[in-house]
Structure 1
Amino acid sequence: MNTYFNASAFLSAFPPLLTRLPYTLGIVLESVVLGMFIGILLTCLGRSRNRLIKMIVTGYVWLMRGTPLLLLLFISYYALPALLASLGIGVDSDDPLVYALIAFALSLSAFFEEMMRAGFDAVSEG
């Protein structure tokens, strides 16, 4: 039977992938923690009585949830340093892991905000 899966190519590429596993797990753990912290902050801000703050939080969540993660990665790696440089803020890090962490945390924060908002709304007053 002819298949497109080449087991020998997969097995030869697997050990180099395992060497990068700690980086992947580190990015995931750090972005989840940072995203959860930002999501809690957004949930608290979104529950305020100020309409402007509510609209800003709602717009942020709508934008981040609707933007593909790959686009956020490109924006954080290519556009964010240029934006910060134009504002006069120097960026010392050329490490792509930092920009990946920023993109993942911003994306996850919108999802965490939605989960926590739904949890708060599910509890009845009284």
Structure 2
Amino acid sequence: MPEKPFSLAVSALIRDDEGRVLLLKRAAAASINPGKWDLPGGALDPGETFDRALWREVREETGMRVTLRHVAGAGELALPTRRVAYLVMTCDVDRTEISLSPEHEDYAWVAPGEAATMDLVEQFRGLF
């Protein structure tokens, strides 16, 4: 049986001035991980660099602009037809007000210890 191909996705670990991290709750109608808590981010478009993809995804999902600082970690998710490798970047933001996209139904700024107790998507459980 052939191995499933990998695709790349990028996610933002965004902290506010109090050290809390931003989590987004995926919509109940989402095809992957409905109702679970996630980091902002998503897949790269063909030919797109990971920094541009992350800027685009965060803007689409939260309305915020980010500045990438450094690599925070990585994760992996197995899907039926592919595996997704996630590159997680620590980011600064221009503001903390959120404008959610239809992909998400809620958001929370939580302490890292609290994030570890939430119903997180599988690929980010080891980050907190």
Give the TM-score normalised by the residue count of structure 2: 0.20
Structure with greater contact order relative to length (CA < 8 Å, sep ≥ 6): 1
Larger radius of gyration: 1
Give the TM-score normalised by the residue count of structure 1: 0.21
